[in-house]
Amino acid sequence: MNLINMSAPSKYFSCLRKRNLNTPQILQTALYLTWGTSLLLAVTTIFGAQVQRNAIKTVGKDAAPSVLTAQQIKDSLADMGANAVNQLLVKPGQNPTADKGFEYRRERLGHFLVQAAQNITYGDKEREPITDMLNGLTQYMLVIQQARDANARGDNNALLAHYYEAVKINEQQIQPNADKLSQINLDTLNQTYERQKIASAASELLIVITGLTLLIVLLGTQLFLYRRMRRVINPMLVAATIISFLFISYSIHALESSVSNLKIAKEEAFQSLYTLRQARALAYSANRDKSRFLLDRTNAAKYEQAFQDKIKKINNLMADELKNITFAGEREATVATKNALGKYLDIDKQIRQLAASGKYAEAIKLCTGLSQGDSNWAFEQFKIAHQKVLDINTKEFNGAVEDGFKNVQGLELIALGTAIIVSTLALFGLRKRLLEYR
């Protein structure tokens, strides 16, 4: 590719001659222009590298992890709620799996809240929803314990009353703040990414313009020396020209590679991760509604409809994921996830048929069991398959972010070093010629 029009150097130095400058003045001007343009090239490159690095940090290290953490908070809340319902379906101590699951999710929820607090980047906009979630979680735990106590007493009315209160706290205080935390970071991520695309294009354009200007000055100076002083070649200026050309090519390639990696991280891996995390949170919530269907028979129809609505959303999200297949093994893992969800839904139909026949004990056993063929066993198979898709995209996201950083690693120092070397070579290349006129 021609980076420079060879007539440009001649035109430029013809312009200098029209200003009635003598040879030493022209050479001094050329030297000052070389210093200035090489410094400007370094500055524009440093600016481009910093813009790109900041964009990668915001997307890859600040916003995206916070968005995904908010989704994991929703996962944990929904699964903790499902285990709470499974505890209340039977007498205390009769479902140790649900007991362990509840405690595990409580610990994980605490871990994710701490993780979110440690990654606060945007001040009170993030701090407030995290604080509200912590306060809501404290209330939720107290009310769930009251429901357990009522269950131990055999007071079903009090059990449901306390459970409804827990649901209200979750749906009105905890979940909305998890959504708020996610949206704050998602908006920042999208805005930063869009700004970065414009800034990166502008940076590359500036590098090309300043780089071409530097090459014009260097080539024009050599052409002038050849015509005026009959110097066939100036080794120092040739070296400066080659180094400048190589640096311009390298810096453009480095920035383009970093932009490409950020695109992979944002548009391919993160988009899939966000879609998958939404699907996972909905799956946990649907699994909770499946148990609510058996716990609260008065509102069973409402919970069944909520379950079906969430399953429909999950299927739509998985269809979106299939449209964004990019990485090796991703399609196979996604198809396996859809198949596992189908088996889970087949068992769910059996639970509802048993309940419709009045066989609640059998329905509860099928709903809460972990043996092969039970509902929670099928849900676990869905989670395992789904995690494989998550793992593929997480690995690619992290890899793209790290590669994006590596692409521009040390570019500022290289830019400064190049400016110093080119300026020094130009100085020594023209020094002898200038000394001839003293």
Enumerate residue ranges in the chain where pLDDT < 50. Answer: 1-4, 6
The reply to whether 2 falls in a domain is no
The reply to whether 317 falls in a domain is yes
* pLDDT value at residue 168: 92
The reply to whether 164 falls in a domain is yes
- Residue with the two structure tokens 């100036």: 234
396 touches 270 (CB < 8 A):
no
The reply to whether 186 falls in a domain is yes
* pLDDT value at residue 1: 42
The reply to whether 224 falls in a domain is yes
The reply to whether 406 falls in a domain is yes
124-153 helix and 156-169 helix, angle to the nearest 10 degrees:
170
* pLDDT value at residue 150: 96
The whole-angstrom separation of Cα 297 and Cα 302 is 10
Contacts for 312-317: CB closer than 8 Å, 24+ residues apart: 313/279, 313/282, 314/279, 314/282, 314/283, 314/286, 314/341, 315/341, 317/275, 317/276, 317/278, 317/279, 317/282
Question: pTM for the whole thing?
Answer: 0.85
The reply to whether 235 falls in a domain is yes
The reply to whether 408 falls in a domain is yes
* pLDDT value at residue 377: 95
Please count the structural domains in the chain: 1
36 touches 154 (CB < 8 A):
no
DSSP state of 299: G
* pLDDT value at residue 117: 86
* pLDDT value at residue 327: 96
Where in the sequence is the domain holding 29, given as residue range(s)? Answer: 7-435
**Helix, strand, or coil here: 325?**
coil
* pLDDT value at residue 17: 54
* pLDDT value at residue 431: 83
Q: Give 194's contacts (C-beta < 8 A, 6+ positions apart).
A: none
291 touches 367 (CB < 8 A):
yes
